[in-house]
Structures are given as C-alpha cells and as structure tokens.
Amino acid sequence: MTTTITIDVTGMTCDGCERHVGEALTAAGLEDLRVDWRRGLAVGVDRGGFDVAKAESALEGSNYEIVSVSTERADTGTSEPADVAVDYDLVILGSGSAAFAAAIEAKELGATVAIVERGTIGGTCVNIGCVPSKALLAPADLYHRAGHSPFVGVETSAGRVNLTALVGAKDQLVATLRKEKYADLLDVYGIDLIQGTARFTGPTTVEVDGRPVVARRYLIATGASTWVPPIDGLDDTPYLTSTTALELTELPDELIVVGANAIGLELGQLFAHLGSTVTWVEALDRIAPFEEPELSGLFKGHLEAQGSTVFEGATAKRAGRDRDRVWLEIDHRGTTVRIEADRLLMATGRRANTPELGLEAAGVEVDRRGHVVVDDTLATSNPAVWAAGDVATLPQFVYVAAASGNIAAENALRGTGRSLDLRTMPRVTFTTPSFASVGLTEAAARRKGRPVTASILPLEVVPRALVNRDTTGAVKLVADETTGELLGAHVLADGAGDVIQAAVVAMTYHATIDEIASMFHPYLTMAEALKLAAQAFDKDVKNLSCCAA
C-alpha cells in the first residue's frame, strides 16, 4: 500500500541541509522525496519500507531533528495517525510590528501564513503609540521653542494652539502609515488576514470565533494594553490613558500625570509645551527611574524650572471629582497631599493582552503580569508556540518587537535556534531634552560584579550645546575599570536618540573608552559629547582646546 509521508524537520538552513536530510530519509526507505529547507518539511512516498526510527538514528548528532510525522494513504486520503489537516505553516495572533515582521520572514522562507486580528490592524505603535505620540510631540516642542527663544537678537513668538487640527493631522498620518506599512503588505506578501478573536483550545489547536484554524506552528504577538492600578475612587473618576490622551481636542489648563517613566514624561511634557500646567506623581524614588540618577535629577530640575510640579516617592491613594475638576490624594513621603486639576492622566504601565487567549489550555506559561514567558529564542513552554513583542517577557520597544518577531518566525519554522541579544538594545524617551541609553547603568554593572569606572560630562562643556544656548543635560559613560570596555552610555540632550547609535555601534564591537576617545567625532555636533565624555575619564575636558585629542 502506498502512503504519503510528511515529516516536520527542524534545523535546516540551506540547500545543503536539504541534501543531507534527503539522504538520511532515502536511506530510511522514503521514495520520491521532496525536501524544503525554507518550510522545514520533507514529503515522500512510503511503499512499505520506511522506518522512522532508522531516519531518526541517521540524523542523530546532527542539527536536524524530526519533530512530527504524518501519513496519508493514497487510496483513502485519510491520515494515520488521525492528524488534523493543517491550514497554515504559521498562524500569528495579532497584527502589530512583531506579527508583521514574523509574517514577512515566514513568507520569505516559503511558508503559508495567516494573521488573526480581532480589532484594528497595525498594533500599538502605528495606531496608539509611537507614531501618534511623536506626531504630537514634535509640533508641541516647536510651539514651545517658538515662545522661548534662547538667542539674543532673534525675537520669536507662539500663536494659538488648535488642538483639534493637530489631532486631525495626527489621525491622517496614522491612517496613511497603517495602510502603507501594514494593510497593503498583506497582498504584497500573500499573507491571509483572519478577522476575529483567537483562542487556544488545546496545545496545538486554535479557534477564531469558534472556527478551527490549524497550523504547524503558532506565534503569539497580541501586544499589551494600558494598565491602571487599583486606587480608591478611581472607577468613579474620569481619567485619561496614554491612548485617550492623544485624542483630546481641548487643552486642559491643569493636568495631573500619575507615572513618570517614559510614557508619563512624554505625554505630560506634550501638554506642558502646549500650555498646560502639569503635576507629575511618581511612586518610585525618582522620575525616569530606570535612567542614571544624575540624569533624572537634571531633568526634574528642568521640569520644575519650566513651572511644573514633581512629586517623587508619592503613592496615589484616593481619587475623585468635584464638578468639572478631578482631585487626587497622594501619600508623599509620609505626608498626605491633595492635588486638583482639570484632567487626570494615568500613565502607570502596560500589561500583556493574554487573558482571553486560552493559554492555560495551550500549556503556555505566563508571568505574574500575564506576559508570555519566553527564552532567548522566543520559544514558550509549548513546543508548538512562540511569542514575540510586548506580549512576551521582553522590553516593550517596537524595534525589539520587530526583531523578536523575525527571529521567532525563523526558529518556529526552521528550528535554527537564533537568539535575541539585548546587550546593545538602546532606549529613547522623546522628551525635551531627550533621554537615550544603551547597556548597563553604573549600579547595574556593580550588581553584576564588574569593576566599574564612570564619567559624567555636563553639557556646559559641549560646544554644540553652547552654540544652541541650551546646556540642560549630561552624558554619562560606564566602563570596565580593568579593560576599559564601554559597558553603558547614557545621554540627556537634544537629539540624544541620534547620538546613542554611535554608542550602540561601539558596544557591539566591544570598543574601549580609549578607542572611542581616539575616533574622529565631527565638531559642533552633539555626537562629539561621546568623545568628550570618553576623554573625561582621565582629562579635565574644560581645559582642552577645541577638538583636542
């Protein structure tokens, strides 16, 4: 009796792999064999002589592994054992950056792919995150600068703010990018879009609105949503989130922002630059709590100098409303303080979109916040399921999401075991001035037991900052005291997000402080601050001439 055998093989990465796997399977008794390394599949005909154990033995000790075998009789079309027919090689839950990066990679590997989305295509970044927030931050910064020129002899002024027009332009940009960078790519790459709510019904089975959709592999990329802690009275108090704040068409005179990490600082300063009086409430000991403390302190002073109020080490206890006003009662270092405003913005973090996915039925482990636990290859506790992006236990940055989606797709389909290396992952907070960091803070390096030395360079000695008449900020470099290798770079400056890329490259190639100091850095750029900060380890840069080596 003739039987068609379909074998799922991981570890194939090239045409040569097809040859090696094909030789092993042929020796094990398969005929008319077709091996596809891109899809991780081998299909052949068994005329009674195929021995799975012999095939596994032939591949033992190699990078290739047989993970499943299905058989189909030619005379009946039935499978032995009772395997469920596979609709796709890869089904992706979610349609954001991680999902599309994975889908594109999978299609380039020759796989059949479907994306399942229950809402708007495109995910957080393009719809309610990076794109819309930066589309408003840029004009708000321009408006603020227009009213606060630092240059003698140049008089500037700021007109009125039309928030409705600003938000309308933002929405138009979002719609354009959502179409061009997401929706249109479905046809470009031949990716199927399934609209509906997906839920695992078992370790290898998913239903979308009750309809089974079966795949060889699954990728969870459903992202995360705003999270608000339980605060007495908050449920009966109108408040904004990072999503609804970007939809406001009327500027509040006064705004309370609970949370002063990246999102809270960006959105709070957005409204401060447009004319609102802003009060920040941060539960941790300082604002920008994951940045170097010297930079956090400088930025706090900057906000206060511009008329804002900052409470650090303050816990929100009660909230309420009084007619058109909202109020918040906080515990500030043991003292109860009541603050009032027109609007309350809760910027207290994001949690994974996993509660409705049926992950318990799938045997997929999550952490206490609901994020899918992954290893550095993006594998979950279920060998048929991977996860990528904000839904996973990863830093919540869109470029991390895209990179993890790409790697997860390749690992899921080809078993190559690629890992996501976060050692040189940069992060940027788009305030004015902006924060940008890569690598270890001084405290983190010491916790790892590294012998550490650090330099802190105030912008007062950076020529570009002097020319700009804006010296708010500093650069801090952290290095291994023994080898001089750069372990971390931390910048608070105008254009910090662009400056940090030079430090990313330096750390990628394990550059030392001396090597950075000896490199050419163009004069009168903010990037020169990296060279000066490197020189500051053993020189007083205040006493150097311009560009002195």
Tell me the catalytic residues. Answer: 12, 14, 17, 64, 125, 130, 546-547
**Omega into 293 within 30° of 0, i.e. cis?**
no
Contact yes or no for 521/528 (Cβ under 8 A): yes
Can you spell out the DSSP letters for 128-141? HSHHHHHHHHHHHH
Q: Torsion over CA of 167, 169, 171 and 173, rounded to 10 degrees?
A: -150
How many Å apart are CA 4 and CA 202, to the nearest integer? 27
Give CA angle at 316 (312, 317), nearest 5°: 140
In whole angstroms, how far apart are CA 320 and each of 235, 238, 239, 404?
Answer: 9, 8, 10, 41
Largest Cα separation within the chain, whole Å, is 93
The owner of tokens 């801090």 is: 476
HSE (side-chain half, CA atoms, 13 Å) at 59: 25
How many Å apart are CA 387 and CA 224, to the nearest integer? 13
Helix (H), strand (E) at residue 499: helix 496-508
Phi, psi of 473 (to 5 degrees): 135, -175
How many Å apart are CA 148 and CA 385, to the nearest integer? 53
One-letter identity of residue 50: F
How many Å apart are CA 330 and CA 326, to the nearest integer? 13
> What DSSP character marks residue 83?
P
> What DSSP character marks residue 363?
T
Pair of tokens at residue 248: 């406001």
In whole angstroms, how far apart are CA 220 and each of 98, 198, 208, 297, 357?
Answer: 9, 10, 14, 39, 9
How many Å apart are CA 79 and CA 290, to the nearest integer? 55
Pair of tokens at residue 546: 């311009």
Pair of tokens at residue 360: 């318990």
> What DSSP character marks residue 29?
T
How many Å apart are CA 421 and CA 434, to the nearest integer? 25
How many Å apart are CA 67 and CA 41, to the nearest integer? 10
Say whether 194 sits in a helix, a strand or coil.
strand
Q: How many CB atoms lie within 10 A of CB 505?
A: 12
Say whether 61 sits in a helix, a strand or coil.
coil
One-letter identity of residue 16: G
**Omega into 81 within 30° of 0, i.e. cis?**
yes
